Amino acid sequence: MGQVHKRFTDDQVKELIERYLHKEIERTYVQEILGIHKRRFFQLIGAYRDNPETFSIQYQRTVKTRSIDERIETAILNELEIDKRLIEDPQVPLRRYNYSYIKDRLKREYRQRVSLPTIIDRAKKNGFYLKKPKKAAHEHEVATRYAGELIQHDASYHLWAPLAKEKWYLITSLDDYSRFMLYAALLKEQTAWTHIAALESVFLRWGFPYTYYVDSHSIFRFVQGRDSFWRNHELFTDEADPQWKQVLKECNVKVVYALSPQAKGKIERPYGWLQDRLIRTCVRENVTDIGEAQTILKKELYRYNYRQAHSTTGEIPYTRFSRALRDKRSLFREFTIGPPYQSVKDIFCIRIQRTVNPYGKISLFNLQLRVKNARPKQAIIVRMYPQEDGLTELRMWSEQTLLDVHRVKTDDLKAVHF
């Protein structure tokens, strides 16, 4: 088909955009009517939202195109050179140039608006261009109908700040329906506790979701070991529940596992945008400390959640998420502490079972702890909750009764990887 400005007037295109924004007509129909692809469609949506009064699809060429400032030319090439070094570094998980990121950075750091085609033109002319590799086709769609129906939870281990020369874990939780990122944190270690802390953050703020979607990492799922002639490990997969899964069971939240690399891609794809920008910004800001990287992560997370229309939904994640909550299209349930438990420390914790000895004590690694009102040989569940003050609260439960509470130095529990 011919160009849009030759077949439609500004008012005709405005009418279609307004009908789309008011949910009167679906995106695919507008694209078909205008004869454009999805990328061009969202460019028009963005231009209209920026300034509805002056929106126009007509080309304005009364003024001769002005060449950009030499200082900006240099800045573009410098930014492209940084990206090239990152792409060529096998330790860094970047395999392509991000011209949109460079455009945003020029606007933010140099106060200069440079068009995306201009940046791509300079990239091609100076050897900073890679053809996109062919990827296996997959559906870009939202399979869920409600907020909280499915939370995608994952941990990625990469060199997020290359100058730090140290890999960190990025733990994230994302609502599948809205693509709203509920949790994101950089950590030096990945343990059962770090993932339990992520659950606590999400549940206390938003409530209990319906389902969590994770891979088959041992933190999330117990697997008996490799198949043998005598034993098929699939039969023994769920005989024992890891600490993380025990939390979900007590909260009545289901777990779904990705059982193949293709299925795991469903978890990883939505995080690409956030991860990509995190690495590039950490390099340009000379980040060497995980605290500094976390600050950058928060900024990029805010941009992702509250400023950027998602490529799959066509909406800003928070806008879609908050509307679902407002319209009661949500499967989140209000967070409550169910009986017999008395505190969030009884739920979001590490659980260990011990038996009371004849002296009314239990042995916890190198500690001997007396338990009030306990009988010899009585089974005790110790629920351990580490605190920021360097102490861990030990809550002794038996037969749905809280018998005693101890506080010990977290360093004295070295066998527990918090």
Cβ atoms of residues 353 and 396 within 8 Å = no
Burial of 343 (0-12, 13-18, 19+ CB in 10 A): middle
Residue 270 has what pLDDT?
56
Which pair of tokens denotes residue 232? 């098929």
**Which of 101-110, 368-377, 399-408 shows the lowest per-residue confidence on average (mean pLDDT)?**
101-110
For the entire predicted model, the pTM comes to 0.75
Cβ atoms of residues 92 and 280 within 8 Å = no
Neighbouring CB atoms inside 10 A of 328's CB total 8
Residue 60 has what pLDDT?
54
Which pair of tokens denotes residue 305? 């959640």
pLDDT classification of 91: cutoffs 50, 70, 90? confident
What CATH class has 151-326?
A: alpha beta
β-pairing verdict for 181-187 and 391-398: unpaired
Query: pLDDT for 295-331, tens place per residue?
Result: 999 999 999 999 988 888 889 999 999 999 999 999 9
Cβ atoms of residues 369 and 406 within 8 Å = yes
Which helix (H) or strand (E) segment holds residue 181: the answer is: strand 181-187
Would you list the domain boundaries of the chain? 4-50, 90-132, 151-326, 344-413
pLDDT classification of 345: cutoffs 50, 70, 90? very high
Query: pLDDT for 7-65, tens place per residue?
Result: 788 888 898 899 899 888 889 888 888 888 898 899 899 889 988 888 988 865 544 55
Report the percent of the chain where pLDDT is more than 70.
Answer: 88
Q: Which residues contact 328 (CB under 8 A, 6 or more apart)?
A: none
Paired with 152 in beta bridges are 174, 213
Four-point Cα dihedral 61, 62, 64, 69, nearest 10:
-80
d(CA 98, CA 273): 10
Residue 231 has what pLDDT?
40
**Which of 58-67, 78-87, 94-103, 177-186 shows the lowest per-residue confidence on average (mean pLDDT)?**
58-67
Classify 39 as helix, strand or coil. Answer: helix
Residue 24 has what pLDDT?
85
Query: pLDDT for 269-280, tens place per residue?
Result: 556 778 889 999
What's at 282, amino acid-wise? Answer: C
d(CA 416, CA 410): 9
Residue holding tokens 């800001």? 285
Query: pLDDT for 205-258, tens place per residue?
Result: 999 999 999 998 889 987 655 444 444 433 333 447 899 999 999 999 999 998
Residue 52 has what pLDDT?
87
Report the percent of the chain where pLDDT is more than 90.
Answer: 58
Residue 272 has what pLDDT?
76
Confidence check: pLDDT of 264 > 80: no
Q: Which residues contact 285 (CB under 8 A, 6 or more apart)?
A: 292, 296
Residue 194 has what pLDDT?
96
Confidence check: pLDDT of 415 > 80: no
Higher pLDDT, 6 or 347: 347
Q: Mean pLDDT over residues 134-153, rounded?
A: 75
d(CA 91, CA 283): 13
Which pair of tokens denotes residue 391? 């102490």
Question: 5-31 b/e with 16+ CB inside 10 Å = b?
Answer: eeebeeeebbebbeebeeeebeeeebb
Confidence check: pLDDT of 66 > 60: no
Strand (E) positions, 117-177?
151-158, 168-175
Neighbouring CB atoms inside 10 A of 52's CB total 11
Residue 241 has what pLDDT?
86
Residue 239 has what pLDDT?
47
Residue 137 has what pLDDT?
47
Which pair of tokens denotes residue 409? 């130095």
Residue 3 has what pLDDT?
78
Cβ atoms of residues 61 and 77 within 8 Å = no
Residue 234 has what pLDDT?
39
Residue 170 has what pLDDT?
95
**Which of 102-116, 233-247, 267-281, 382-396 shows the lowest per-residue confidence on average (mean pLDDT)?**
233-247
Closest CA to 171 of 152, 159, 155: 155
Confidence check: pLDDT of 284 > 90: yes
Cβ atoms of residues 293 and 168 within 8 Å = yes
